[in-house]
Structure 1
Amino acid sequence: MSAHSTTYQVAGVNSGHCKAIVSGALRELAGVDTVHVEISTGLVTVHSSAPLDDAVVEETVEDAGYDYRGRA
């Protein structure tokens, strides 16, 4: 069960393909239960068992090829 929910702003998520790449990359992080990506807004909500390190989220998003803009 997810104890934490954090929403981030990610630029460049413009299609279902992009959504799958970002959500797949974030789901690989330890403690992540689910990821919801909203294509129209670029908002990415991550549900996890513990708080995530923003620097790790940023690195993961950037390594996937997208522009991390911070917490929403």
Structure 2
Amino acid sequence: MTTFRVLGMTCSHCVGFVTEALKELPGVESVEIDLSTGTVALVTDRPVEPAAIRAAVDAAGYEVEG
């Protein structure tokens, strides 16, 4: 499991955009997002490059913290 924070999510629509963007990445099996903390947990069946995660979140219009 990979966990990280995403900045800028304020509603369920935001969660949907980020979830869909991350589900497109090869190897991602599930995406769990806690909107109150901005925390994202990815379950993958293989390693996913941090740069790919960041690019997917950026493309959805949000920012990975750090």
TM-score (norm 1): 0.88
Mind listing any 5+ residue stretches in structure 2 that lack a counterpart?
none
Deviation at 1:19, TM superposition (A): 0.3
Residue 56 of structure 1 and its aligned partner are, at CA, apart by 0.5
SS state of the match for residue 36, structure 1? strand
Moved over 3 A (4+): none
Alignment equivalent of 1:66, drawn from 35, 49, 62? 62
Q: CA deviation at 1:67?
A: 1.1
Superposed, 1:1-72 pairs within 5 Å as: 5-70=1-66
Q: Counterparts of 1:37 and 1:13 in 2: how far apart (Å)?
A: 10
Structure with higher strand content: 1
How many residues end up aligned between the 2 structures? 66
Q: What's the CA shift for 1:60?
A: 0.6
User: In structure 2, the residue corresponding to 1:45 is in which secondary structure?
Assistant: strand
Q: CA deviation at 1:8?
A: 1.1
TM-score normalised over the length of structure 2 = 0.95
Where does the alignment leave 5 or more consecutive residues of structure 1 unmatched? none
Q: Partner of 1:30: helix, strand, or coil?
A: coil
In the alignment, the residues of structure 2 paired with residue 59 and residue 25 of structure 1 have an alpha-carbon distance, to the nearest angstrom, of 9
